Amino acid sequence: MPNYLNLFLTFARIGAFTFGGGYAMLPILQREVVDKNSWCTEDELTDMYAIGQCTPGVIAVNVATYIGNKCRGPLGAVCSTLGVITPSVCIIIVIAALLSNFAEYAAVQHAFSGIRIVVCALVTKTIWTMVRKNVRDAATAVFFLLSFCSVALLGISPVAAVLVCGLAGALLRGGKTEGGK
Amino acid sequence: MIFVQLFYEFFKTGLLAVGGGLATLPFLKEIALRRAWFSVSQLTDMIAVSESTPGPIGINMSTYAGFHAAGIPGAVVSTLSLVLPSYFIILIVSRFLEKFRDSALVGSIFYGIRPATAGLIAGAMYEVFVLSLFDPQAFAATGSVLDLIRMVPIIVYLAALAAVFKLPRVHPIVFIICGAVLGIALGL
């Protein structure tokens, strides 16, 4: 298990390279937390994203708090949470103080167009992995497609999709033990 | 006392904004109208800055808003206040989860939620995906499919996709840095 400094630094690294919101963080989080350090399982990470979606606050921060707490208790959660927010706090203060037109520089715009494309590719792989693991029958395929359409095309709140699919899962399975894990 | 006011406003936002960083936006807009800390147009600029800097958007927004209200101490107070409610909520939720993780009912609920989460992430990325690789505006103007396709970004995307699948050991951060360099080199 990691020490406090380790938690802080790992999440600071994740925070410093998360471009475009919490979802874009998933590939880096997966690498650092699941593959490299085994601080939690892939399933736990997926569940945490669903929970982070339904609880108030910023998803990236919620996930950091959860993992820090799991590794080293409430104080560990303080370290990981401060870690994930520190890079953006510093960067934004510098930008707000010195570079008020930061987003208008041509080089910045080009760099971020490039980053966005790469993030799309990284997230495509993450989604592919999640689908292969969790879409196992007709019902789960419907859950996947419904929540995709509700967010991408209909603009329905993700919270509603999570609640409806969770309820549907409970009704379909009715608490029977999960087969074929 | 401005710090107490900042704490109050951002704690409230952190407590009530459900569903990720951009969910803080309506709350911040309301603060902008009610307090003299920052304007709505500054907030709009901040969306562009947030998209061009690392870090969760909600955090970027609160830091920026707090900085304009009361300098560096304001930025720190507002960001910590935003994070505080979810810190406690997550501690409570994870205690609950640990207790019931092995229950069959919770297993059934997550049987439904996990594929939905994959769908939500795909849905949230959909807009970024379309805007990065296609040009719906040019398509609407000319009706020509050739105008819909942004050739260079699509090639970069496919190359990146191949690299991400073929080189699973390379750290995602390396790909992101390559993306920034390519973006500048190709003038994307």
Q: What is the pLDDT of residue B163?
A: 95
Whether A49 is covered by a domain: the verdict is yes
- HEC readout, chain B: CHHHHHHHHHHHHHHHCECCHHHHHHHHHHHHHHCCCCCHHHHHHHHHHHHCCECCHHHHHHHHHHHHHHHHHHHHHHHHHHHHHHHHHHHHHHHHHHHHCCCHHHHHHHHHHHHHHHHHHHHHHHHHHHHHHECHHHHHHHCCHHHHECHHHHHHHHHHHHHHHHCCCCCHHHHHHHHHHHHHHHCC
Q: Is A19 helix (H, G, I), strand (E, B) or coil?
A: strand
Share of chain B above pLDDT 70, in %: 97
Report how many helices (DSSP H) and strands (DSSP E) chain A contains, helices first: 7, 0
- pLDDT confidence band for B10 (50 / 70 / 90): very high
**Domains: count for chain A:** 1
- Strands (E) in A76-166, as ranges, are none
A110 is a domain residue: no
A138: in domain: no
Instruction: Name every chain B residue with its beta carbon within 8 A of the beta carbon of A169.
Output: 108-113
Q: In this structure, is residue A160 part of a structural domain?
A: no
Query: pTM (2 decimals)?
Result: 0.81
Q: Which residues contact A101 (CB under 8 A, 6 or more apart)?
A: none
Interface test with B, best of A9, A17, A40, A58 (most B CBs within 10 A): A58
Q: Any CB–CB contact under 8 A between B8 and chain A?
A: no
For the record, the structure tokens of A80 come out as 């990981």
Q: Which residues of B touch A93 (CB under 8 A)?
A: 63, 67, 72, 75
* Amino acid A21: pLDDT: 64
Q: Is the pLDDT of residue B46 over 80?
A: no
Q: Give the closest of A21, A69, A141 to B91, CB-based.
A: A69
Residue B164 near chain A (CB below 8 Å): yes
Answer yes or no: is pLDDT of B22 > 80. no
**A73 in contact with B at a CB cutoff of 8 Å?**
no
Q: What is the pLDDT of residues B114-129, one digit of tens each?
A: 899 889 888 878 878 8
Q: A144 in a domain, yes or no?
A: no
Q: Which of residues 121-140 of B touch A (CB under 8 A)?
A: 121-129, 132-133
Question: Cα distance from A4 to chain B (closest Cα, Å)?
Answer: 17
Cβ <8 Å between B113 and A166: yes
Contacts of B108 (CB under 8 A, 6+ apart): A169, A170, A172, A173, A174, A175, A176, A178
Q: Does A49 touch chain B (CB under 8 A)?
A: yes
pLDDT tens track for B47-70: 777 777 887 878 888 898 899 889
Buried b (16+ CB within 10 A) or exposed e, A21-56: bbbbbbbbbbbbbbeebebbeeebbbbbbbbbbbbb
pLDDT score, position B20 = 61
Domain that holds residue A19: 4-102
User: What is the residue-level pLDDT of chain A in tens, covering all 181 positions?
Assistant: 789 999 999 999 998 988 766 677 888 888 999 999 889 898 888 888 888 878 887 888 888 999 999 899 999 999 999 999 999 899 999 988 887 777 778 888 898 889 889 989 988 998 898 899 889 899 999 999 999 998 888 878 778 888 899 999 999 987 665 544 3
pLDDT for res A180: 42
- What is the pLDDT at residue A50? 84
What's the half-sphere exposure (Cβ side, CA atoms, 13 Å) at B28? 30
Q: What is the pLDDT of residues B79-117, one digit of tens each?
A: 999 999 999 999 998 888 888 878 888 888 889 988 998
If contacts are CB pairs under 8 Å, which of residues 25-44 in chain B contact chain A?
A: none
A116 sits in which H/E element:
helix A106-134
Q: What is the model's pLDDT at position B85?
A: 93
> Nearest chain B Cα to A13, which residue?
B173
Q: Is B111 on the interface with A (CB under 8 A)?
A: yes
Q: For residue B18, report the phi and psi dihedrals to the nearest 5 degrees.
A: -100, 130
List phi, psi (to 5°) of A156: -80, 150
Whether A34 and chain B come into contact, CB under 8 Å, resolves to no
Rg over alpha carbons for chain A, rounded to the nearest Å, is 18
User: Which residue type, as a one-letter code, is found at position B161?
Assistant: L
Predicted local confidence at residue A177, as pLDDT: 56
The pLDDT value given to residue A20: 65
Interchain proximity A22–B153, CB inside 8 Å? no
- Domain membership flag for residue A64: yes
Average pLDDT, rounded, for chain B:
86
In a domain, A115, yes or no: no
Closest alpha carbon within chain A to B11: A57
Give chain B positions within 8 Å (CB) of A89. 59, 63, 75-76, 79
**Contact call for A92 and B49, based on CB within 8 A:** yes
**Domain presence at residue A40:** yes
- Give me the mean pLDDT over the B32-38 stretch: 86
* Dist. CA A55–CA A178, nearest whole Å: 26
Distance from CA of A150 to the nearest CA of B (A): 8
The predicted pLDDT at position A76 comes to: 95
